[in-house]
């Protein structure tokens, strides 16, 4: 069904429950109110528009068997399949014609209430890949796909069985196991993409060096992690994880390194006060600069200046 007007096309369809998701997919009532596994080959799109935007109040782990996408300037075509994880409240664009180009796969969806007051709730934000973009998806080998599918089947069997006092614990522990494997597989992917990653790192180092050597620091202030990631056309979490994998330092640590190297040079080569240098470096409050400097260098800016002269 096509949207009747531009206003309809631009509208965002909210999916807040597993039951709503089943209705949109053309499925019957879910066996569990907080979790489901969708077989994409069985979706009937009779009640959904041909294109539009969605926002889900659910966590999702989506596997597509065959799809192509761009990574940087290169086009990748993976027959093994790709996996993309999404946190709640992200806006998704949907086009049925594009979806037809992708063969069947599966999606694990669960509501945040499922992991409420569990160990997984406390560590869910550690799985930074939930905020990666589609071009940062995980590409699975056949063996990796089988590993995740076997865990998925255990989850499916559990929520399709009669719910008892152990059900939630077993479902959540298997979700955590699946996420831990995703974390391992992403780590493997960073390693296998080392050549492309090195190009990104060189580009970033050139950019950040130019930023701190120009007047941009005074004009725009200290660059944020988000600002740097956007310049590299990557999401903040993916970019930080890539840098951490390749260099041992995340984006924030790289920014601080260049900032402090510039601060050291200014402390030694100029007669400006510490407060004036802090202002020149883009700090609104001088005490923040002194605190960061001492935390990273080990001494205050004033002591560092006196020791080096």
- Assess whether the region 6-192 and the region 195-308 belong to the same CATH fold: no
Domain ranges of the chain: 6-192, 195-308
Tokens of 265: 């040079």
Question: Which CATH number applies to 6-192?
Answer: 2.60.120
**pLDDT of 71 above 50:** no
Q: 122 and 58 in contact (C-beta within 8 Å)?
A: no
Confidence of residue 101 (pLDDT cuts 50, 70, 90): low
DSSP class of 233: T
**pLDDT of 182 above 90:** yes
Determine the distance from the C-alpha atom of residue 173 to the mean position of all C-alpha atoms in its chain, rounded to a whole number.
22
**Predicted pLDDT at 76:** 44
Q: pTM, whole model, 2 decimals?
A: 0.78
Better-predicted residue by pLDDT, 304 or 309:
304
To which CATH superfamily is domain 195-308 assigned? Homeodomain-like (1.10.10.60)
Separation of alpha carbons 11 and 13, rounded Å: 6
Q: Burial level of 35, CB count in 10 A (0-12/13-18/19+)?
A: buried
Closest to 234 (Cα-Cα) out of 259, 257, 201:
201
């Amino acid at each position: 069904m096509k949207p009747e007007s531009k206003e309809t096309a631009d509208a965002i369809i909210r999916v807040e429950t597993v039951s709503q998701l089943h209705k949109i997919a053309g499925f019957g009532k879910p066996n569990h109110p907080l979790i489901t596994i969708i077989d994409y080959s069985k979706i009937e799109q009779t009640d959904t528009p041909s294109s539009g935007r969605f926002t889900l109040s659910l966590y999702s782990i989506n596997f597509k068997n065959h799809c192509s996408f761009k990574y940087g300037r290169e086009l990748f075509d993976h027959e093994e399949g790709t996996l993309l994880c999404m946190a709640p409240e992200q806006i998704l664009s949907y086009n049925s014609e594009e979806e037809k180009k992708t063969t069947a796969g599966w999606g694990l969806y669960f509501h945040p209430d499922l992991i409420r007051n569990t160990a997984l709730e406390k560590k869910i934000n550690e799985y930074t890949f939930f905020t990666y973009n589609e071009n940062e998806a995980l590409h699975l080998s056949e063996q990796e796909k089988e590993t995740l599918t076997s865990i998925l089947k255990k989850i499916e069997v559990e929520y399709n069985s009669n719910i008892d006092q152990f059900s939630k614990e077993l479902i959540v522990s298997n979700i955590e196991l699946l996420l831990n494997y995703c974390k391992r597989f992403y780590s493997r992917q960073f390693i296998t993409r080392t050549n492309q990653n090195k190009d990104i790192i060189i580009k970033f180092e050139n950019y950040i060096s130019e930023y701190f050597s120009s007047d941009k620091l005074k004009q725009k202030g200290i660059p944020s992690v988000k600002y740097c990631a956007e310049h590299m056309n990557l999401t903040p979490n993916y970019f930080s994880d890539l840098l951490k994998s390749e260099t041992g330092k995340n984006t924030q640590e790289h920014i601080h390194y260049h900032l402090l190297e510039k601060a050291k040079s200014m402390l030694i080569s100029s007669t400006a006060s510490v407060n004036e240098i802090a202002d020149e470096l883009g700090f609104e409050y001088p005490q923040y600069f002194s605190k960061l400097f001492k935390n990273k260098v080990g001494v205050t800016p004033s002591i560092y200046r006196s020791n080096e002269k």
